[in-house]
Amino acid sequence: MTTIWGIVNVTPDSFSDGGRFLDTARAIEHGMQLRRDGADVLDVGGESTRPGAERVDPSIEQERVLPVIAALAAEGATVSVDTLNASTAVAAVSAGARIVNDVSGGLADERMLSAVAGTDADYALGHWRGPSSDMYANASYRRAAREVAGELRDGVGRAAAAGIAPSRLILDPGIGFAKAGQANWDVLRGLDEITALGHRVLIGTSRKRFLAETLRASEGDDISLERRDLATAVTSALAVRAGAWAVRVHDVVATRDAIAVARAWES
């Protein structure tokens, strides 16, 4: 059974929908619509992690996300908080979040792993090589899937040392984070290197630059969000086929449909 995560960006500057859901009421309604569309988890974030993004003070981040998380959880939704900050993670769990999604894998805030260990939340540990403001500085790989798997293995060790049980871990190879162009495809093609670590695997390709670059290379025009969503649905379905436990997307309906078609093909 595949888990689909719907993205709720409560930010003014996310690369594809920044500002659309900064208003609390609109963010809550968007989350509920994603749930109606078939999202199993609503991933709520108050700080953009797009390339070049600057950090947001945790107090501002919490003002954005906590009311949304509390409202969605009160409606029975399974909520994840997308954050780099330990204080936000703890506050979000108190507000009803059941998963902490940390794209830095505990490297952005040294308190994160111990803070999450003190909660009952699951932890999505992302592959990361530096902040969004300069994420491509270390985007050099020889064998991307193998190197990412090795660095995730190190993250699993850090999490275990902090007291997070293996059963609570979700691994995210960080598509688009400190990875340019071909490296993202190399990680996706080598997804078995990540699944072999024995944890649930989360894949997030949604609307990311490497998809637009691939489409632009074939047609040479600007790539709309609709076309990025189609490419996202295809890569998400392929990721599920390769063993991903969950996919994180903006367009839940297209992704759900693509997965259903792929399953029908194989049945």
> 80: which strand partners?
43, 99
Q: Could you tell me which residues come within 8 angstroms of residue 85 by beta carbon, excluding any fewer than 6 positions away?
A: 47, 58, 61, 108, 109, 112
Catalytic residue among 35, 179, 248, 256: 248
208 is catalytic: yes
Give me the sign of the Cα torsion angle 225, 183, 49, 233.
positive
Catalytic residue among 64, 200, 207, 208: 208
Main-chain phi, psi angles of 81, to 5 degrees: -110, 125
Measured distance CA(239)–CA(69) in Å, rounded? 28
Measured distance CA(150)–CA(55) in Å, rounded? 27
248 is catalytic: yes
Measured distance CA(39)–CA(41) in Å, rounded? 6
Pull the structure tokens for residue 56: 């947001």
Residues with a known catalytic role:
208, 248
